[in-house]
Amino acid sequence: MDKIFVNPKIKNILKYYKRIWSVKHAQSLLGWDTKVNIPVLGIKERSVAEGELSFLSRELLTSSRFVELIEKASKEYLNDYEKGVVRVLKRDIKIAKSLPPRFIREKSRIESRCVKIWEEAKRKDNFLKFKPWLKRIVEIERKTAEYLGYDRYPYDALLDFYEEGLRMKDLDPLFRDLKKGLKRILLKLEKRALEIHPIEKEKYEIENMKKVNLLILKIFGFPLEKRGKIHISEHPFTESISINDVRITTNYEGIDFKRSLLSTIHEFGHALYELQVNKRFDFTPIGKGVSSGIHESQSRFWENIIGRSKEFIQLIHPILKQNLKFLSNYSFGDIFDYFNTVKPSLIRTEADEVTYNFHIILRYELEKLIINEKIDVDELPKIWNEEMENLLGVKPNNYKEGILQDIHWSSGIIGYFPTYTLGTVLSAQLKKHILRDVRDFNQKIINRDFSSIKEWLREKIHKFGSMYSPKDLLKKSFGETIRVEYFLDYLKQKYIK
Ligand code: MG
């Protein structure tokens, strides 16, 4: 086996990095435990420990000896693996050095208070209560952009923070074309549901749904217990603790089973990415998925391209019927429609494949306004409602269905929403390419033969971890950048033809 890290300075860097890796390892384990396991009162000490650990990892990362070593290494001849190590570390160090510790402390204090205020404001449908806090968050995020630095627009700094290299000049044309194409599809749609699908109202026993999820993870070959775990949490997520310890969560609402099923499949997509990173990147800065957008392309690929396909539903139909008895009242066609109903709606997380991205377009436009144009937070609900009507022809009746629906802004996450669209658009681009490379893709799904699909994803995306930037990865594996037309074609084929 070839050595992949050869340069002596890089070897030194990696030796030192093992300590940073270990702190991060502890952080993600604590993060996981905080979200799925901790007793209510334990949160107080936990947040102190989490805060201290993040300062420790910042200290280690920005120590002058380490920074100097990286500077020196970057001037030498390096192979692609080594260049990847330097690129990731330089970026991490730049971010860590830009944000002063006092600012981070203040930021996280306000964010955790604001989430609590948001929860209550949402419950009581009271935007006035949330407004002053949202103002503070917006001020903090504008300041964050100033600290991080940017060429033209402050919002670019926030975009880059979540997706390396992403700028408004990439997103403006992408969202423009997407909006135009999606509006056209929505108009031509054959089956546009007016009411909710009857299966959405069917209740299920949680134990039965657990069985279904486990059977599906088994079909996909998720290495449960060996390298992975599944737990329950309100908002499903994936935590990669190490290359051999990747955990996912799902949730069970007891009604409308596709929500639990598709969440499980979505998180499986995230987990598979982490599980298939080159094992020799273990303990290094490149041993993880490269960005939120690329990560989301993996989860969406499994959730939508595979999970909502006719072939997949055909494959799991017997499992569903056996465990969810109410399905005996419905035909295969009913069940397929249930997974693929298109209906303009107000809530982003409940949206279908066609209307989902309108929700992101709205948030993108608003985030640009509050960060770049400095419009007042007071104006947001009005613009939100008008734009919603403009985009999807539906208008919120209250704040819960409008501006108060998402947790993101209350937790200081501005600039992240666009990565959801990147992922969705890319997932269709992956389908275009996999159809060329993997013979009988659709038939393989029916035959529960996922090995060549997983292998293809490994070779094109997963194995590289973070060694290439998101844009370079796409260029290297597919010879192109992100393209909207594949996604629009996919939707047209599925929903119009
Ligand atoms: Mg996701």
What is this structure's pTM? 0.96
Residue 489, classed as helix, strand or coil, is helix
What distance in Å separates the CA atoms of residue 360 and residue 175, rounded to the nearest whole number? 9
Average pLDDT, the chain: 95
Q: Which of 242, 311, 304 minimizes the C-alpha distance to 269?
A: 304
Q: Give the mean model confidence (pLDDT) for residues 7-21.
A: 97
Q: Which helix (H) or strand (E) holds 249?
A: strand 245-250
What local confidence, expressed as pLDDT, does residue 193 receive? 66
Tokens at 479, concatenated? 């010879």
List pLDDT tens digits, range 133-151. Answer: 999 999 999 999 999 999 9
What distance in Å separates the CA atoms of residue 140 and residue 166, rounded to the nearest whole number? 21
What local confidence, expressed as pLDDT, does residue 236 receive? 93
43 pLDDT tier (thresholds 50, 70, 90): confident
Q: Inform me whether the pLDDT recorded for 372 exceeds 70.
A: yes
Q: Give the mean model confidence (pLDDT) for residues 109-123.
A: 92
Ligand 1 centroid – CA 269 distance (Å): 9
Q: Inform me whether the pLDDT recorded for 485 exceeds 80.
A: yes
What local confidence, expressed as pLDDT, does residue 208 receive? 98
Ligand 1 centroid – CA 1 distance (Å): 35
Residues near 230 by Cβ (< 8 Å), separated by ≥ 6? Answer: 213, 214, 217, 224, 247, 248, 249, 250, 264
What local confidence, expressed as pLDDT, does residue 194 receive? 66
What local confidence, expressed as pLDDT, does residue 192 receive? 64
Residues near 440 by Cβ (< 8 Å), separated by ≥ 6? Answer: none
Beta strand 238-242 pairing with 245-250: antiparallel
* Rounded percentage of the chain residues whose pLDDT exceeds 70: 99
Q: Inform me whether the pLDDT recorded for 489 exceeds 90.
A: yes
Ligand 1 centroid – CA 423 distance (Å): 9
List pLDDT tens digits, range 248-285. Answer: 999 999 999 999 999 999 999 999 999 999 999 999 99
44 pLDDT tier (thresholds 50, 70, 90): confident
Ligand 1 centroid – CA 272 distance (Å): 12
What local confidence, expressed as pLDDT, does residue 477 receive? 98
Q: Give the mean model confidence (pLDDT) for residues 179-192.
A: 87
What local confidence, expressed as pLDDT, does residue 3 receive? 85
CB 329 within 8 A of CB 314: no
What local confidence, expressed as pLDDT, does residue 368 receive? 97
List pLDDT tens digits, range 52-92. Answer: 999 999 999 999 999 999 999 999 999 999 999 999 999 99
191 pLDDT tier (thresholds 50, 70, 90): low
Q: Give the mean model confidence (pLDDT) for residues 441-463.
A: 98
What local confidence, expressed as pLDDT, does residue 31 receive? 92
Lowest mean pLDDT among 112-126, 184-198, 211-225: 184-198
Ligand 1 centroid – CA 389 distance (Å): 27
Q: Give the mean model confidence (pLDDT) for residues 412-424.
A: 97
Edge-to-edge, what's the strand order for the sheet holding 245-250? 228-232, 245-250, 238-242
Residues near 246 by Cβ (< 8 Å), separated by ≥ 6? Answer: 227, 228, 238, 239, 240, 271, 274, 275
Catalytic residue among 164, 267, 274, 303: 267
Q: Inform me whether the pLDDT recorded for 40 exceeds 90.
A: no
Ligand 1 centroid – CA 265 distance (Å): 10
Reading phi first (left if > 0) and then psi (alpha if -120 to 50, else beta), residue 315 is in alpha
Q: Is 387 a catalytic residue?
A: no
Ligand 1 centroid – CA 98 distance (Å): 27
Tokens at 118, concatenated? 């948001």
Q: Inform me whether the pLDDT recorded for 373 exceeds 90.
A: no
Q: Give the mean model confidence (pLDDT) for residues 11-15.
A: 97
What local confidence, expressed as pLDDT, does residue 148 receive? 98
Q: What is the DSSP letter of 342?
A: B
